[in-house]
Chains A and B, each alone.
Chain A
Amino acid sequence: EAGVVQSPRYKIIEKKQPVAFWCNPISGHNTLYWYRQNLGQGPELLIRYENEEAVDDSQLPKDRFSAERLKGVDSTLKIQPAELGDSAVYLCASSYPARNEQFFGPGTRLTVL
């Protein structure tokens, strides 16, 4: 079984530039999560999808962050414009509906200069 796939693995951009991250969850996992992990911290949930629907986006900074999961499979997280404080690792995870075990991808390490 293939795991959660994320790309790119690393991204370096200048502040005010846009950036996008892509995630392909494990096949059959209807629930998809985006987390942000700051240096020395645990992951913090940004948004959770059940199929195409964003059911919890309360922690997503909506002024600059957006996400989509148009066909209920892969997902894209976008930041526009990026700020220095957005430097972090962005993790994608997936799970079966109503199941508590989340499977994580390797993450995208974003550096904003």
Chain B
Amino acid sequence: AQSVTQLDSQVPVFEEAPVELRCNYSSSVSVYLFWYVQYPNQGLQLLLKYLSGSTLVESINGFEAEFNKSQTSFHLRKPSVHISDTAEYFCAVSGAGANNLFFGTGTRLTVIP
């Protein structure tokens, strides 16, 4: 089985500052990794994913995450955050080729003007 740990439940950061949201996973098999974002009163939206290939993956709105197999991590980063990035961010893992997603408990990112 797979599991995900998001150590930071809340991360406040000033606008235009960099941010890193941490995600560590546990699995005995090859994995796929995902970051989802949830805005208030909305469903989850896929932000980015790692399936194979390059360990650095990017989203269209400036976020990136790097798959680190040795450290079993998939941390999410952005060099300069905007007010609109305020949301809940969930890291998720599935077994490679499997359908079921296992989510972390989420990190609430609050961008301070």
Contact = CB atoms under 8 A, between A and B. Distances in A.
Interface of A: 4, 31, 40-45, 48, 56, 91, 93, 95, 98, 100-107
Interface string B83-113: 0000000101010010111011110000000
B101 A102 contact: yes
Contacts of A31: 99
A91 B88 CA distance: 15
Q: Name the interface size band of chain B.
A: 20 to 34
A93 B38 CA distance: 14
A45 B103 CA distance: 9
B45 interface: yes
B21 to A, nearest CB: 13
B44 A91 contact: yes
Contact of B100 (A4, A56, A101): A56
B99 A42 contact: no
Nearest to B97: A98
A38 B32 CA distance: 24
B48 to A, nearest CB: 11
A38 to B, nearest CB: 10
A98 B97 CA distance: 7
Nearest to B6: A42
A106 B43 contact: yes
B49 A42 contact: no
A50 to B, nearest CB: 8
A106 B3 CA distance: 24
Interface in B35-68: 36, 41-46, 49, 51
25 contacts: A40-B105, A40-B106, A41-B105, A41-B106, A42-B4, A42-B106, A43-B101, A45-B100, A45-B101, A48-B99, A56-B100, A98-B97, A100-B34, A100-B49, A100-B51, A100-B99, A101-B46, A103-B46, A104-B36, A104-B43, A104-B45, A105-B43, A106-B41, A106-B43, A107-B43
